[in-house]
């Protein structure tokens, strides 16, 4: 059965700052993802707070929102069979130290907070996150 999905990726400020945008996009493409939409933007902290609302009770919430709004990011809609899980696998573990060889976070992540990419964690959240950045 075919199960074409879309998921949201964000290339975070630490990676954009190091000019890793193209290398990371190449990793998506070479792993079979189609880039349907993309834009480079800078968001306000208030928008980051909305985006990361699920984490509002976490101790790292404020720092996380400061960070996501600290510099340009690239938001990308990826499409592939089982894209949500596939992108989570390609990203690797939240903490780059725990990420598998060959994953984006292993290759480029600096630390648990500067871990280079975001990826939706479920089909439901992918829809919400894609709408968040691309609803006209
Ligand atoms: N994060 C952090 N400290 C932590 C856990 C998470 O700074 O102890 C940041 C990190 O940038 C992570 C984001 O919060 O990517 C969202 O956390 P989540 O648990 O959703 O991880 P992800 O889905 O990004 O792997
Ligand atoms: Mg998450």
CATH number (domain holding residue 128):
3.30.70.141
**pLDDT score for 1:** 85
- Interval between CA 90 and ligand 2 midpoint (Å): 14
Does residue 22 fall inside a structural domain? yes
Does residue 33 fall inside a structural domain? yes
Cβ < 6 A, ligand 1 pocket: 55, 60, 64, 94, 112-113, 115, 118, 121
**pLDDT score for 20:** 98
Does residue 80 fall inside a structural domain? yes
**pLDDT score for 97:** 98
Q: What is the mean pLDDT of each run of 10 residues along the chain (136 residues)?
A: 97 98 98 98 98 98 98 99 98 98 98 98 98 93
- Interval between CA 120 and ligand 1 midpoint (Å): 12
> Could you report how far apart the first and last alpha carbons of the chain are, in Å?
32
Question: Which residue CA neighbors atom 2 of ligand 1 most closely?
Answer: 113
Top mutation candidate among 15, 64, 69 for ligand 1, by most atoms within 8 Å of CB? 64
Main-chain dihedrals φ then ψ at residue 118, nearest 5 degrees = -110, 150
- Using the atom order of ligand 1, give the atom closest to the CA of residue 115: 11
Does residue 73 fall inside a structural domain? yes
Does residue 87 fall inside a structural domain? yes
If DSSP states are collapsed to H, E and C, what string results for 68-126?
Answer: HCCCCEEEEEEEEECHHHHHHHHHCCCCHHHCCCCCHHHHHCCCCCCCCEEECCCHHHH
- Residue 118 bears catalytic tag: yes
Does residue 102 fall inside a structural domain? yes
The pTM of the full predicted model, rounded to 2 decimals, is 0.98
Does residue 3 fall inside a structural domain? no
The domain in which residue 111 lies consists of 17-133
Q: How many domains would you assign to the chain? A: 1
Does residue 116 fall inside a structural domain? yes
């Amino acid at each position: 059965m075919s199960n074409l999905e879309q998921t949201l990726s964000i290339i975070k400020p630490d990676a954009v700052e190091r000019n890793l945008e193209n290398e990371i996009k190449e990793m998506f493409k070479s792993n079979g993802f189609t880039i349907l939409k993309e834009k480079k933007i800078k968001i306000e902290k208030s928008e980051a707070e909305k985006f990361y609302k699920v984490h509002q009770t976490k101790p790292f919430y404020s720092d996380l929102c400061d960070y996501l709004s600290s510099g340009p990011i690239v938001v990308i809609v990826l499409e592939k069979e089982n894209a949500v899980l596939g992108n989570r696998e390609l990203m690797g573990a939240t903490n780059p130290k725990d990420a598998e060889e060959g994953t984006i976070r292993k290759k480029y992540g600096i630390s648990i907070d500067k871990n280079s990419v975001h990826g939706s964690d479920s089909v439901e959240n992918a829809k919400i996150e894609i709408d968040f950045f691309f609803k006209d």
